[in-house]
Amino acid sequence: MMAADQSTGTPPPAVRRLWPTERSRIRDHLLRLDRDDRSLRFCHAAGDAFLSSYCENIDWLRATVLGCFVEDELRGVAELIRIADVWPPAAELALSVQGPYQNHGIGSALLRHALVMARNRLIGTVSMICLLENRKMQHIAREFGASLVVREGQVEGEIWPLWPSYLSLIEEAAAEGEALVRAAFSIPVAAPPRLLQEFA
């Protein structure tokens, strides 16, 4: 488990659920992505107008959006979107992490948290689609046991979350509570060991 940086006093990143009132923070995060990272996230070129429209039209009834904060700035986002009229329940997952914050475990932390939330909502299959050149996403997906298949220049991955348990419910609640306490009081509270173990 990663503690605050002793040289700078910087607390470890916090992962928590985002709400409709925070759509402007999601938009600003996406706008900070460079051209290549935008293409990797959306599988096509994405200009500022597209990103702003995308955030305005998030379907919050189907989407669970998670954010990773570094010093109270949103640096990574995971979107877990339930697929309508599918049984057993299934969802699609997409991740974005700003360039300077990549390769520090933020993507893995977001995916872990998203899979815990999927598990607790009885989602049986989580699908991830990325471009063939998005090696980072493929590496993260493999960390969590994803089955990857190449189709027409894209990589499709599937992860099958376990059924919920008392421990998975506690893990989600503890992570949410820890992040909200830090947001409210701006203090570096110790992170739950499972959720942020990538930062060890």
pLDDT digit string (tens) for 131-171?
Answer: 999 999 999 999 999 999 998 889 999 999 988 898 999 88
Contacts of 76 (CB under 8 A, 6+ apart): 13, 29, 67, 68, 95, 96, 97, 98, 101, 106, 107, 109, 110
**By three-state DSSP, how is residue 55 classified?**
helix
What pLDDT was estimated at residue 91?
97
Q: State which residues of the chain have pLDDT below 50.
A: 1-9, 187-200
What pLDDT was estimated at residue 87?
84
E strand or H helix that includes residue 75: strand 73-82
What pLDDT was estimated at residue 176?
76
What pLDDT was estimated at residue 8?
41
What pLDDT was estimated at residue 12?
64
C-alpha torsion 73→74→76→81, nearest 10: 170
What pLDDT was estimated at residue 150?
95
The identity of residue 59, as a single letter, is: D
- For the domain made up of 17-180, the CATH class stated in words is alpha beta
Q: Which of 180, 183, 178, 200 is nearest to 192 (CA)?
A: 178
What pLDDT was estimated at residue 173?
86
Distance in angstroms (rounded) separating the CA atoms of residues 125 and 116: 12
Q: Can you give the pTM of this predicted structure?
A: 0.82
